[in-house]
A and B are shown apart, each in its own frame.
Chain A
Amino acid sequence: MTDTPTSGLSNVETTVLGADEIILNMGPQHPSTHGVLRVKLKLDGERVVDSECIIGYLHRGVEKIAEHRSYQQFAPYVDRMDYVAAVSNGLGYCEAVEKLLGAEAPPRARVVRTILTELQRIASHLLWLGTHALDIGALTPVFYCFREREEILKIFEKYCGARLTTHAFRIGGLQYETYDGLEADVKRFCDDFTHRIDEYETLLTENRIWVGRTKGVGILSAADAIALGVTGPVLRASGVKWDLRKAMPYAAYADYQFDIPTRETGDTYDRYIVRMQEMRQSQRICLQAIENIPSGPIMAKVGKVLKPPPGEVYHSIEAPKGELGYYIVSDGTTQAYRVRVRPPSFINLQAFDKMARGSLVADVVAIIGTIDIVLGEVDR
């Protein structure tokens, strides 16, 4: 609130509460900027004339750290980028290093990875749904979402001992064998989840206020989405059928049947529908995967000290928020020469200004929510 006219009585002669534009700083401490995003809004009344996202409040130099850690040592760090979808981050990194090494995880490891990653997608989308609904003013769904997310976190905890920043996978496969009853736990969760997600939809999908608050808000056309490099559910809601799990299958996705939900308009409501359907598809993948987890080793022979041959590799996966890519340059030593992460949140956030311009202040929080950003990943 620096460069704006003051409205105190003492200044009443010199400044009038005019009809000119005011500048509103949203964040970095604000209830609905999902962390430490700062949005500078230029407002005409309540209408957004211009907006600017200011990031970097959570910058921890993750990419630089990678240059001073061995490949295995860096693996836990990637969990701290998108900390609500740590398993997906780990999968992307491990597969990228495996590609660099020319190794491949054994089939059993790949199936377990798929199951956990899909559970993580559901957990991430649940967190998004709860907070997004909370931003729009529906106070209750967040608790229902956390109740189900808790079940997923319990499965993670049973599997690897950690709930949030799991470090579930290792380069070359898995460190831990699955626990007895993983299949039963996942099946129980998936069976319950059908009713749960129906419950959320009864609260929101046809609610007049919800539809009013989301339909036609933050429209992003397919052309704009592609031009801005937007990926994930945001892209698919604009009508582009692009999902890396189908386009460039990794882990064990090629073996399973699932659909890629898309919508046409690219507004907030469409993104909501796409994510809801994605949760159902993830549940479908989990149910198929637990049917038949192949037996065999869980670790490929990659050796204790990883020394990838000099070269570079780019590997990307479909994280819950979009395309998560790792570009790794190896100089033949035990430490990476350079690791560059392509975080989906960061790229998707570019579309914010396009979506927000011309909307109202209330829409701004809906739009921040609908992009589904995690600042840990934006700032790294």
Chain B
Amino acid sequence: MGHLIPPSILPYVLPVIYGVVIVAVLPLMAGYIVLLERKVMADMQARLGPMRVGPHGLLQPIADAVKLLLKEDIIPEKADKLMFWIAPLVSVTMALVAYSAMPFGPAFQIADLNVGLLFILAVSSLGIYGIVLGGWASNSHYSLLGALRSAAQLVSYETAAGLGLVSALLLAGSLSLKEIVQAQYDQGEWFVFSVPIGFFIYLVGSIAETNRAPFDLPEAESELVAGYMTEYSGFRWSLYFLAEYANMIIVAGIATTLFLGGWLRPFPHFSDHLPGTSVEIMDGLPAMVFLGVALYCFWLAPKQPVKIQKIVMATVGGLCIALAGTMVAALFGPEGVRLGVYGGFWFMVKVMGYLYAFLWVRFTFPRYRFDQLMRLGWRFLIPLALVNLIAVATAKVASQEWGWYPRITMILATIFTLGVALWLASRDAKQEPAVEAAGGD
């Protein structure tokens, strides 16, 4: 890149390129996450999922996108036209803006803000305006109820999720996402192992924030039809959809950065080299995995019943070989390319793992009721997050000021918080009937 563009304007050009890439790739990625979701759901529900459009349904997202774009754009007669028009734009813009501070790798980041985390949290929660405005402007009771639920839910769970994040921030000592990852590298472990309860609180909070089951009350299909999206159709509807999936990737990205070591590979300090080369064993791993998958595909290909499926299997195997080749080539390329490719790879692997947890939870649990959701947030998660925060802070003081062994203090803090969690849960279980008798809260 340095040869093509004068170095003086590089700092301005590169972010623009990154921005264009993100805006171009994100809808596609959201589409394929939907496909992944449907396939995972099908797998859990003993069926196949989309199989018609393209081999194994691989072109389904594109077909869906085309369908949505061609659909009639209906604006209800009594809707507030301007607000109805603006609302999805607000949602999707805020979701996209949040990506500007997200580090996909050590090099791939549009802007390394020194308050990057705050920026992402602030911008992505602005997206709620799109939901509330859309629900209100639709002039439908279902939409209104969905929007109100969404607002209340976001306020409650953003607090809990934020407090969960702070416990990791205490350890990192910075709000810059790059430095948070660097801190995990320096301290030699991902923060999920130091503050598991903080991670748990953020996991629950982020599911609720993105309106995913079992906290999908704002769009609870069986109750509110589609919640705030009820009156939307076609392109506007797909904007909301895009915003939802973009937000999912954002919360997964935040969790990855703060708790799962960002773009760091597992065991970043383990630097034994492959015999006879300068390649570290851990860096060789992704290529090996791809190669293994490729061989598995080639082994499966002749066993497929239909010719087209044989071809597809072989193609997937070929793609894996190509990916493995890229990974290997990157190893021997310039330092920047190596860091970029491997950072991006590990980051996306972790994001996908986090999203898989989302899907898993969604297809396993029934939906909470609104009062139960609020009770869980205010009476369990927020107190727990506060206790966790104090425990982590105390542990940090103990290790820094009094010279206690850091890992031991962290484990003690976690055990203490777990005890509090159990106490909170049992207290809730005892009080639930009383609240019920009083007519909920």
Residue ranges of A at the interface with B (Cβ–Cβ < 8 Å): 1, 4, 6-10, 17, 22, 24, 30-32, 43, 46-47, 133-140, 143-144, 147, 203-204, 207, 209-210, 212-213, 216, 358, 360-365
Per-residue CB contact flags for chain B residues 361-373 toward chain A (1 = under 8 Å, else 0) read 0111111111110
Q: Out of B47, B145, B221, which one reaches A361, CB within 8 Å?
A: B145
- Complex CA gap A143/B436 in Å reads 32
Q: Is the CB of A9 within 8 A of B80?
A: yes
Q: Is the CB of A32 within 8 A of B222?
A: yes
Residues of chain B lying within 8 A (CB to CB) of residue A8: 78-80, 137, 139
Interface residues in B321-377 (C-beta closer than 8 Å to A): 362-372
Chain A residue at minimum C-beta to C-beta distance from B429: A208
Q: Is the CB of B433 within 8 A of A216?
A: yes
Residue ranges of B at the interface with A (Cβ–Cβ < 8 Å): 41, 44-47, 78-80, 82-83, 136-137, 139-142, 144-145, 213-214, 216-217, 220-225, 362-372, 432-433, 436, 439-440
Residues of chain A lying within 8 A (CB to CB) of residue B46: 143-144, 147
Chain B residue at minimum C-beta to C-beta distance from A364: B223
Q: Out of A32, A135, A139, A360, which one reaches B41, CB within 8 Å?
A: A139
Among B137, B222, B366, the most chain A Cβ lie within 10 Å of the Cβ of B366
Q: Is the CB of B369 within 8 A of A363?
A: yes
Task: Using known A-B contacts A136-B367, A144-B45, determine if residue A4 contacts B222 with beta carbons closer than 8 Å.
Answer: no
- Complex CA gap A22/B136 in Å reads 14
Q: Is the CB of A6 within 8 A of B222?
A: no
- Complex CA gap A6/B78 in Å reads 8
Q: Out of A4, A46, A136, A358, which one reaches B439, CB within 8 Å?
A: A358
Task: Using known A-B contacts A8-B78, A8-B80, A137-B213, determine if residue A216 contacts B436 with beta carbons closer than 8 Å.
Answer: yes
Q: Is the CB of B139 within 8 A of A7?
A: yes
Kindly provide the distance from the CB of B39 to the nearest chain A CB, expressed in whole angstroms: 14
Among B44, B142, B222, the most chain A Cβ lie within 10 Å of the Cβ of B222
Kindly provide the distance from the CB of B34 to the nearest chain A CB, expressed in whole angstroms: 15
Kindly provide the distance from the CB of B64 to the nearest chain A CB, expressed in whole angstroms: 19
Task: Using known A-B contacts A46-B370, A137-B367, A212-B369, determine if residue A143 contacts B45 with beta carbons closer than 8 Å.
Answer: yes
Chain A residue at minimum C-beta to C-beta distance from B436: A216
Q: Is the CB of B221 within 8 A of A31?
A: yes
- Complex CA gap A274/B364 in Å reads 23
Q: Is the CB of B365 within 8 A of A360?
A: no
What 6 additional pairs, Cβ within 8 angstroms, besides A24-B141, A138-B365, A362-B220?
Answer: A1-B141, A139-B362, A213-B366, A360-B440, A363-B369, A365-B223
Pick 15 A–B contacts, CB within 8 A, sort by A: A8-B78, A22-B141, A24-B145, A31-B221, A46-B370, A47-B440, A136-B222, A137-B366, A138-B364, A138-B367, A139-B363, A143-B46, A147-B46, A212-B372, A213-B369
Q: Out of A1, A9, A10, A209, which one reaches B366, CB within 8 Å?
A: A209
- Complex CA gap A375/B364 in Å reads 29
Kindly provide the distance from the CB of B200 to the nearest chain A CB, expressed in whole angstroms: 15
Q: Out of A6, A147, A361, A363, which one reaches B224, CB within 8 Å?
A: A361
Task: Using known A-B contacts A30-B225, A360-B371, determine if residue A133 contacts B80 with beta carbons closer than 8 Å.
Answer: no
Chain B residue at minimum C-beta to C-beta distance from A133: B366
Residues of chain B lying within 8 A (CB to CB) of residue A30: 225
Residues of chain B lying within 8 A (CB to CB) of residue A139: 41, 45, 213, 362-363
Residues of chain B lying within 8 A (CB to CB) of residue A24: 141-142, 145
- Complex CA gap A260/B217 in Å reads 37
Residues of chain A lying within 8 A (CB to CB) of residue B439: 358
Q: Is the CB of A362 within 8 A of B369?
A: yes
Q: Out of B78, B80, B220, B366, which one reaches A207, CB within 8 Å?
A: B366
Q: Out of B47, B137, B221, B369, which one reaches A143, CB within 8 Å?
A: B47
Q: Out of B80, B363, B367, B440, which one reaches A140, CB within 8 Å?
A: B363
- Complex CA gap A213/B136 in Å reads 28
Q: Is the CB of B440 within 8 A of A7?
A: no
Residues of chain B lying within 8 A (CB to CB) of residue A1: 140-141
Q: Out of A140, A210, A364, which one reaches B45, CB within 8 Å?
A: A140
- Complex CA gap A358/B364 in Å reads 29
- Complex CA gap A24/B145 in Å reads 10
Task: Using known A-B contacts A46-B145, A137-B216, determine if residue A362 contacts B370 with beta carbons closer than 8 Å.
Answer: yes
Chain B residue at minimum C-beta to C-beta distance from A29: B225
Q: Is the CB of B45 within 8 A of A7?
A: no
Chain A residue at minimum C-beta to C-beta distance from B47: A143
Q: Is the CB of A209 within 8 A of B78?
A: no
- Complex CA gap A32/B222 in Å reads 5
Q: Top 7 A-B pairs ranked by shortest CB distance?
A: A137-B367, A143-B45, A32-B222, A138-B366, A135-B222, A9-B80, A137-B366
- Complex CA gap A24/B143 in Å reads 11
Kindly provide the distance from the CB of B304 to the nearest chain A CB, expressed in whole angstroms: 25
Q: Is the CB of B225 within 8 A of A31?
A: yes
Q: Is the CB of A136 within 8 A of B433?
A: no
Kindly provide the distance from the CB of B110 to the nearest chain A CB, expressed in whole angstroms: 36
- Complex CA gap A47/B41 in Å reads 33
Q: Is the CB of B214 within 8 A of A137?
A: yes
Kindly provide the distance from the CB of B38 to the nearest chain A CB, expressed in whole angstroms: 11
Q: Is the CB of B83 within 8 A of A9?
A: yes
Chain B residue at minimum C-beta to C-beta distance from A137: B367
Chain A residue at minimum C-beta to C-beta distance from B221: A31
Kindly provide the distance from the CB of A203 to the nearest chain B CB, expressed in whole angstroms: 7
Residues of chain B lying within 8 A (CB to CB) of residue A47: 440
Task: Using known A-B contacts A143-B45, A203-B364, determine if residue A7 contacts B136 with beta carbons closer than 8 Å.
Answer: yes
Q: Is the CB of B139 within 8 A of A137?
A: no
Residues of chain A lying within 8 A (CB to CB) of residue B369: 212-213, 360, 362-363
Kindly provide the distance from the CB of A264 to the nearest chain B CB, expressed in whole angstroms: 15
Q: Is the CB of A32 within 8 A of B366?
A: no
Kindly provide the distance from the CB of A325 to the nearest chain B CB, expressed in whole angstroms: 32
Kindly provide the distance from the CB of B112 to the nearest chain A CB, expressed in whole angstroms: 40
- Complex CA gap A1/B46 in Å reads 40
Q: Is the CB of A4 within 8 A of B141?
A: yes
- Complex CA gap A366/B21 in Å reads 45
Residues of chain B lying within 8 A (CB to CB) of residue A31: 221-222, 225
Residues of chain A lying within 8 A (CB to CB) of residue B225: 30-31
